[in-house]
Structure 1
Amino acid sequence: MILSEKELKALCQMASTAALDAGKYIQSQFDRSYAKKHKKGGNSLASQVVTEIDEKAQEIILRHLHSSLEAHNLGLLTEEAIDDQSRLEKAYFWCIDPMDGTLPFTEKRTGYAVSIALIANSGDPVIGVVYVPDLAECYTSVKGDGVWLNDKSFVREKGGKNDIIHVYSDRSLRDDVYYKSATDRLNEWAAHQNTGIQYHTGFGSVRNALGVMTSGTGCYFKFPKRPKGGGSIWDYAATRLFFEELGLHVSDARGETLQLNNPETTFMNEVGVIYTTDSGLSDLIITLGN
């Protein structure tokens, strides 16, 4: 079964409504008290913290998307539920992160977002929706139709020759063995380009990718590692489509297609990720990873 363009656009609208409702609920709880607990995740605190807000946001999203599961025979993968492997059996599956960036949310700062994608069994996203609650920004995309921001075509401001380079990373990057060598090489590259460099940390994976996408020149990357983690399928599903639609670089750490339906695991630690706005910067990071 191949979904038609009309069906994809209708499903994108459904996902947008779900993301907006979940995001408005999340923002309404920002300054309130709520239960916080730990779950089994990767090896970082960011992947282990979960709140009742995440779980309620997921309920809101699933309530909106429930009818589409049967109507289009779709699979389902969500962060706050067990992987039932339907993603491997169906032609398409919803991939949902009800609140990416739970840690910054609990720390009362920006960096969180709602992310919903529809992924083909091949591991390629065909719909992407991201809502940023504290900024009231909703990014949407259907494969082949570009990227939209709050229902208006999103046009990216391209970086100039001497624009500052924005490097987005998780807090955990500072603990990785390659951190110093990687940042040394990035600083050298920036100096060679006769420009400055600015490092951003503390956002969730979705907001990191959006930060790169909305900067003139920027990057976000994670190299492969042995411990489980490195983000999961739902962290990169929607933003991979955004980058592809904008003609920007998104790949695994080897520079190959970022596969989003690995039958063995939902974690991405074995392959890593790279998001960049500049081909030279992409080449540099791939070299660093190798």
Structure 2
Amino acid sequence: MENNTSIISPGELTALLLLAKQAGSGILSVYNTDIEVTLKDDLSPLTLADKVSHDIITEGLTALTPAIPIISEEGKDIPYETRKNWEYYWCVDPLDGTKEFIKRNGEFTVNIALMHNNTPVLGIIYVPVTGDLYYGGEGIGSWKETAEGGKTQIYADVKATEWISVGSRSHASAEEASLLARYPVSETISIGSSIKFCLIAEGKAHIYYRQGPTMEWDTAAGQAIAVYSGATMSRPDGEPFEYNKPSLLNGSFLVKAG
């Protein structure tokens, strides 16, 4: 770990990107079999793929940065008193979009974020089915790597006069339609998981509003990629979006290009 001007070294970044891909491979090893689904305490679905990815990521992060703690969807029961003063920590969703995974539509991701003083300063999102890899961070900007190995710096489209909104395939709301009516939205795309943040970061969409509940690991990596591409993310009232709260449940948020 280097100073805060670069956050991590190039070698550490390479290792982290490989780790996300390894987790994705673990997910696909389950995706290509008969998927068995159980329910968490909140009745949301859980598959073996969640656990496989979680184990790969936590083992890799612990080896790479043993001094940095981890908050993960599959390892989230850390008391607030323990984590409230953490300067750095990892915020991880081993499989974002479990419902999309179960539907077999390919719209699920691996999310890894590095937090510094409760702000996402590095985000990595890997889409296992397509092989697309997105990452963004302080000092490096935001990037997309394709399965074929192409690498491009990506930027939010801050000059568009007609906007494309992107929303959840599984969680659309009436409040979303009401808020989007305030903006020059001419088209709407529905897609699952944190891919929505990536579409804004690469200029393929311009606004994403989420009214329904999410968890901090659902948004941290996507926020970093969007923000370091030139987009903004806040609460709908414009106030900063907060992390490492006593409850890890998120309120509503708004992501915009520029």
TM-score (norm. length: structure 2): 0.85
Deviation at 1:236, TM superposition (A): 1.1
Distance in 2 (alpha carbons) for counterparts of 1:61 and 1:158? 32
Task: Work out the CA distance in 1 between the residues paired with 2:162 and 2:190.
Answer: 16
2:239 alignment partner, SS class: coil
**Partner residue in 1 for 2:135:** 140
Q: CA deviation at 1:6?
A: 6.5
Say if 2:200 and 2:231, in contact at 8 Å, map to a contact too: no
> What is the CA deviation profile of residues 145-203 of structure 1, one whole-angstrom value per residue up to 9, with x for unaligned ones?
111222734233737656552332353223x5x255345x25xx44xxxx7322414x0
* Aligned-partner SS, 1:171: coil
User: What amino acid is the match of 2:249?
Assistant: F
Asked whether the equivalents of residues 68 and 74 of structure 1 are also in contact (C-alpha less than 8 Å), the reply is: no
Q: Give me the whole-angstrom Cα distance separating, in 2, the residues matched to 1:25 and 1:97.
A: 14
Aligned to 1:232: 215
The alignment status of 1:63 with 2:52, answered yes or no, reads no
In structure 2, do the counterparts of structure 1 residues 91 and 156 end up closer, same or farther at CA, with 3 Å as the change threshold? closer
C-alpha spacing 1:103/1:91, structure 2 compared with 1 (3 Å): same
Quick one: which amino acid aligns to residue 154 of structure 2? V
Which structure: larger Rg?
1
Asked if 1:221 corresponds to 2:209, the answer is: yes
Q: CA deviation at 1:240?
A: 1.2
Partner residue of 2:254 out of 253, 274, 283: 274
Other-structure match for 1:169 = 168
CA drift of 1:266 comes to 0.6
Give the distance between the partners of 1:116 and 1:250, measured in 2 at CA.
18
CA distance in 1, matches of 2:220, 2:257: 18
> Residues 2 and 40 (structure 1 numbering): CA distance in 2 closer, same or farther, change over 3 Å?
farther
Does the 8 A contact of 2:156 with 2:229 survive in 1? no
Corresponding position: 1:259 with 2:242 = yes
Name the CA distance, whole Å, in 1 between partners of 2:164 and 2:136.
Answer: 26
1:288 maps to: none
Q: Tell me the amino acid that sits aligned with residue 181 of structure 1.
A: S
**Hey, what does 2:32 align to over in structure 1?**
31
Cα offset, 1:79, TM superposition = 0.3
What is the CA-CA distance between 1:5 and the residue it aligns to?
A: 5.5
Identity %: 22
Note if contact 1:76-1:87 (Cα within 8 Å) is conserved in structure 2: no
Q: Deviations over 1:193-242 (max 9, x none)?
A: xx7322414x01x112122323444211123xxxxx61111111111111
Does the Cα contact within 8 Å between 2:96 and 2:109 map onto a contact in 1?
yes
SS in 2 for 1:147: strand
Retained in 2: the 8 A contact 1:26–1:57? yes
Residue of structure 1 in register with 2:8 after alignment: 8
Kept in 1, the 8 Å contact 2:87–2:118? The answer is no
| TM-score, normalised by the number of residues in structure 1 | 0.76
Question: Which letter does structure 1 place at the counterpart of 2:34?
Answer: S
Give, in whole Å, the separation in 1 of the partners of 2:153 and 2:2. 27
User: Residue 49 of structure 2 aligns with which residue?
Assistant: 53
2:122 maps to: 127
1:198 aligns with 2:188: yes
Distance in 2 separating the partners of 1:5 and 1:169: 34
Structure richer in helix, relative to its length: 1
Q: Greater share of strand residues, 1 or 2? A: 2
Aligned position for 1:283: none
Q: Secondary structure at the match of 1:221?
A: strand
Q: Give the Cα separation in 2 of the matches to 1:11 and 1:75.
A: 16
State the SS of the aligned residue for 1:94: strand
The runs of 5 or more residues in structure 1 that have no matched partner are: 224-228, 279-290
Q: What is the Cα deviation at residue 69 of structure 1?
A: 4.4
Aligned twin of 1:284: none
Q: Structure 1's 182 and 254: CA in aligned 2 closer, same or farther, altered over 3 A?
A: closer
Number of residue-to-residue matches in the alignment: 251
Q: CA 1:22 to 1:161, structure 2 compared with 1: closer, same or farther past 3 Å? A: closer
